[in-house]
Structure 1
Amino acid sequence: MTRQRVVLVSHVGYDAYRHDDGSPFFPPDEFDVTLLARPRDIARVTPGQVGRRIPVDIHPTGELAGSLPELIGDSGFDWVVATQERLLLPAASLRETLGVGGMGTEHTLLLRDKTAMKRHFSAHGIRVPEFMEISEPAQAAELLDTFGRIVIKPVLGSSSMDVHIVRDPSELKTLQQQGFAGTDRYEAEEFIAGRQFHIDSVVSDGVPVATSVSQYLDSHEAFPLDGQVRSHTLDDGPDLDVLLEFNRSVLAAITWFSGVTHLEVFLDDAGTPVFCELGGRPGGAGIDTTFRYRHGISLLYASILPQIGRTVPDRGKQAPADQPATGWSMIYPPRLGRFRGFEASPRAEWLLQLTAPYRPGELVREPRQAKDAIAVASVRGKDAREVVDRLAQVKSELVVSITPE
């Protein structure tokens, strides 16, 4: 049997690519994997897991340093796989260079570029915020005058990094004086007053086959020490029905897409859904853990399958009827210093996940983006209220050891 050759550009360790029973997503007798990952993740790959290991510089923001074609050389490949937001466009470009199947840059941009996606979905009848692309904050003055409050963010941004909510001309002037943090393109858009949600789906040709709808409980504007960002799934009711229908309408505008989507959406003060952005990849934090519990499907695996020419799973083991609700929290460090571990942590049968993104001995950074957490917790419960209470219990019982520098 001829093995298929896969380029895997990974932002996580290779052990993440396993099913619950420990079997690999890429069986060695079927796939010859060339792994491009951070040196620390390359070092942890055991012999026989992959055919070739190439260390690359993947910045904490997900930016990839170096040219993928130059890194992999002229060897023939069948597939290119990437599942992290900032790696999707480099992977799409590599597919085009190699002449292999999978999404190219034209379609990937509609799931990555915040202005391109708004134009696309607006043209398909989806309500999007008023927006404009800008090269400096002052160019958004007219939009601010119109709406009284706007959001300015990178067009290709991720993890809520470098997002600014501007409430009056003085704040816009201050931002103009400071300048943008990066060299990325930026956009300004109407601020939508209301509640924010994320909708995570496994998708087959633009049709959702498994979906979870969750509400955010915390702001994404700042990530203070000892703060958190939380989310919980919605109980049955009108909001859930409206958002599921909106998700179906959004996905109907990308009938060429199969894989996994992460849709950010608002319900404005009138209860009308408004598009925020759509990613063609798994959501972060505890989303994969909670989705797998609710639907029996790994979002990571489902996002990979179409990239290697296979269909997405349409079902799995469903959550128990008496414990269908889930939620997660990204908990930010109480202080800065050197991370040592957890001195105390909750232990309960309803705790689905409690992980530390930091490794012992690593220096804890000032949180600048959503994923800069000291702990990620996922829980289950009978309804949203119980899930929120259990997330609070996790935070109150977690004791983090950080040595001041």
Structure 2
Amino acid sequence: MVLLDRIGYAFYRDAEGRAFLPAGQFDVRLVTSLAKAGEASGDELASVLAVDGHDERALIEAVRFQSTFGGRKAARLVAVTERFLLLAARLRDELGIPGQGVAQTLPFRDKVVMKEHLARHGIKVPAFAPFTEAAARELLRSHRAVVAKPRLGTGSVEITVLRDEAELAAFTAAHAGRLADFEVEQFVTGRLYHVDSMVQDSKVVAAIAGGYIDETTSYQRLRPCRDVAVPPGPLLDTLLAFNRRVLETFPGFTGVTHHEMFVAEDGEVYLCEIGARAGGGGVIAGFLSRTGINLDEAMVRAQLGEPLPTTEGPADHLTGFIAVYAGPGTVREPIAAPDEPWVLESQILAEPGEVLDGPQNCNDAVAIVSVRGDSPEEVVRRLDRVHDHMAVALGSIAAG
């Protein structure tokens, strides 16, 4: 198998250090980034190529080389990073490797293709169009605001709310020459939720829902982003039912999905987007805590054609996470979560002495901490306690 990676080979292990990759069945031909080359170790590694992870041509040539390394054609190509999903699909098609090709991947990546596909199947989506100034102006006539988004965007980057002609003109001028990279859609007033699922042949095997307390673009203001699981009740039933309907439109799909949806002020549910990947932030830790399933492992196994993990269903407790942002400035104090049994996972992403430029997307946190609790209110209190515990260290960064 070829593994197309940008996050480091150490990532493909669980918290106890157990490897996800079934080394007894596959040798691993790794393509990784230069910065992560030092993590590549293990008897299962048959070949390692490290290239600039931002150089698509270098990545393509490396995968082509690895696909026939040693004179044997690779049986599978695995990529779990959202940024690489479409590239991996193109290479599977080119190299004749089984798995999701471009036709199956585009509806999970291109926001226009996605909404066209789901609207044809009767799923409620915001009014939308490929971005043109005329299309945005037409939508503005019908709605109080519209949103411009990169069609293949990740990390809540370049999402822009446009409320009038002046803001539309400024956006058009700022992105001249690449407007075709964007879509424009109706701004839905309401709350953003997500359902994270493990899926077998388009049927949901396990799913958990969560709701964002803060905007996913809060990184732009250096404000934290908090997320809390949805407890049993009518809202959870509505979200899970909508999720099932959406996934039924992808016949034969097996893997992991991160599905975001708006619940509007009138109670209607609209698709925001759906990706064939694990959710970011603390989604993986929360899913693991409540189901015993690591979504990254499930995604790897699906792409290898291996059986998915099994579970009896979500545990009764709830989970949530907080992503904390800071910068620009120098990290002067250690950043740490409180030493409490209810902290599930603490991802500390900045160390003392590190110079921060400031976050460029929602993934550029200095810390992501996941917690558990018996109610949404308890989870929120614990998330806020995490932030308060980090206040001194975060304040020293802000002072720069």
TM-score (norm 1): 0.91
Displacement of 1:309 in angstroms is 1.1
Q: What is the SS of the residue equivalent to 1:58? A: coil
Q: Which residue of 1 aligns with 2:349?
A: 357
* In 2: Cα distance, 1:83 partner to 1:103 partner: 12
* In 2: Cα distance, 1:269 partner to 1:403 partner: 36
Answering whether residue 280 of structure 2 is matched by residue 284 of structure 1, we say yes
Q: Which residue of 2 aligns with 1:391?
A: 383
Q: Which residue of 2 aligns with 1:337?
A: 329
Q: Which residue of 1 aligns with 2:122?
A: 125
Distance 1:117 1:318, change over 3 A: closer
Gaps of 5+ in 2: none
Q: What is the SS of the residue equivalent to 1:274? A: strand
Q: How does 1:235-246 map to 2 (within 5 A)?
A: 235-246=231-242
- Does the CA-based 8 Å contact 2:198-2:204 persist in structure 1? yes
Q: What is the SS of the residue equivalent to 1:37? A: strand
* In 2: Cα distance, 1:386 partner to 1:287 partner: 18
Displacement of 1:174 in angstroms is 1.7
Q: Which residue of 2 aligns with 1:304?
A: 300
Deviation track 1:121-162 (CA, whole Å, cap 9, x = no partner) reads: 11111000110102x546411111111200001000011101
* In 1: Cα distance, 2:357 partner to 2:176 partner: 21
- Does the CA-based 8 Å contact 1:203-1:257 persist in structure 2? yes
Distance 1:96 1:14, change over 3 A: same
* In 1: Cα distance, 2:57 partner to 2:356 partner: 23
Equivalent residue letter for 2:373? G
- Does the CA-based 8 Å contact 1:339-1:359 persist in structure 2? yes
Q: Which residue of 2 aligns with 1:253?
A: 249
2:48 is matched with which residue: 32, 50, 53? 53
CA RMSD of aligned residues (A): 2.2
Deviation track 1:240-287 (CA, whole Å, cap 9, x = no partner) reads: 111111011001111221000000101111111111111000011111
* In 2: Cα distance, 1:279 partner to 1:105 partner: 14
Distance 1:344 1:302, change over 3 A: closer
- Does the CA-based 8 Å contact 1:137-1:175 persist in structure 2? no
Deviation track 1:287-334 (CA, whole Å, cap 9, x = no partner) reads: 101100011000001111121111222316853x4xx1100111111x
1:265 is matched with which residue: 253, 261, 267? 261
- Does the CA-based 8 Å contact 1:265-1:275 persist in structure 2? yes
Equivalent residue letter for 1:41? K
* In 2: Cα distance, 1:20 partner to 1:345 partner: 17
* Structure number having the greater helix percentage: 2
TM-score (norm 2): 0.92
* In 2: Cα distance, 1:27 partner to 1:341 partner: 40
Equivalent residue letter for 1:331? V
Q: What is the SS of the residue equivalent to 1:111? A: helix
Distance 1:54 1:183, change over 3 A: farther
Q: What is the SS of the residue equivalent to 2:228? A: strand
* In 2: Cα distance, 1:181 partner to 1:288 partner: 37
- Does the CA-based 8 Å contact 1:297-1:315 persist in structure 2? yes
Q: Which residue of 1 aligns with 2:186?
A: 190
Equivalent residue letter for 1:141? R
Q: What is the SS of the residue equivalent to 1:302? A: helix
Equivalent residue letter for 1:156? L
Answering whether residue 104 of structure 2 is matched by residue 110 of structure 1, we say no
Q: Which residue of 2 aligns with 1:274?
A: 270
- Does the CA-based 8 Å contact 1:192-1:266 persist in structure 2? yes
Q: What is the SS of the residue equivalent to 2:109? A: coil
Answering whether residue 378 of structure 2 is matched by residue 382 of structure 1, we say no
- Does the CA-based 8 Å contact 1:42-1:55 persist in structure 2? yes
Gaps of 5+ in 1: 1-5
Equivalent residue letter for 1:38? S
Q: Which residue of 2 aligns with 1:12?
A: 7
* In 2: Cα distance, 1:55 partner to 1:145 partner: 50
Displacement of 1:175 in angstroms is 1.4
